[in-house]
Amino acid sequence: MTPSQRLDATFAALADPTRRAILARLALGNASVAELTQPFAMSQPAISKHLKVLEHAGLISTAQDAQRRPRKIEGVRLGEATAWLEEYRQFWERRYSALDELLDELQANPPKSKRKRH
């Protein structure tokens, strides 16, 4: 899987409130499928599907404890996604400056003499 495909899978996995809530639960400690299903008004197979999406994205991993398959949060992909976002922070923080606002304005409406405005 290429880095771009990893970001695809990571952001897609994060784009669902149920999956984000599952990650929030797992951030507090490992949990079985039954424990993860309990808070939601949703069937167990639906949660299993969400877990498969999260695992495919590398955001969680599965262990084994008798019949249980406790899930564990994995930080690497979250780190990659954060790094991607951080890379853009410098750009859009720059674009908040008054100078950049002015440049944007000039770009949209160059002060050529007698330029029609509409």
Partner DNA sequence: TGGGGACATAACCATATGGTTATGGTAACC
Partner DNA sequence: GGTTACCATAACCATATGGTTATGTCCCCA
Which parts of this chain interact with DNA (CB under 7 A)? 12, 15-16, 18, 32-35, 41-46, 48-53, 62, 66-70, 116, 118
70 binds a copy of itself (CB under 8 A): yes
Tokens for 11, please give them.
């952001």
78 binds a copy of itself (CB under 8 A): yes
Residue 105 has φ and ψ, to the nearest 5°, of -65, -45
Task: Rank residues 45 and 97 by Cβ distance to DNA and give the closer one.
Answer: 45
Among 43, 46, 93, 97, binds a copy of itself (CB under 8 A): 93
Closest CA to 72 of 19, 21, 32: 32
Q: String of b and e for 76-115 (b: at least 16 CB within 10 Å)?
A: ebbeebeeeeeeeeeeeeeeeeeeeeeeeeeeeeeeeeee
Return the structure tokens found at 51.
């877990």
- In this structure, the strands spanning 60-62 and 71-73 are antiparallel
In the set 98, 107, 111, 114, which binds a copy of itself (CB under 8 A)? Answer: 107
- Using CB under 8 A, which of 1, 45, 52, 79 touches a copy of itself? 79
| Residues forming the site for a copy of itself (CB under 8 A) | 4, 7-12, 14-17, 20, 23-24, 27-30, 63-66, 70, 72-75, 78-79, 81-82, 84-86, 88-89, 91-93, 95-96, 104, 107-109, 118
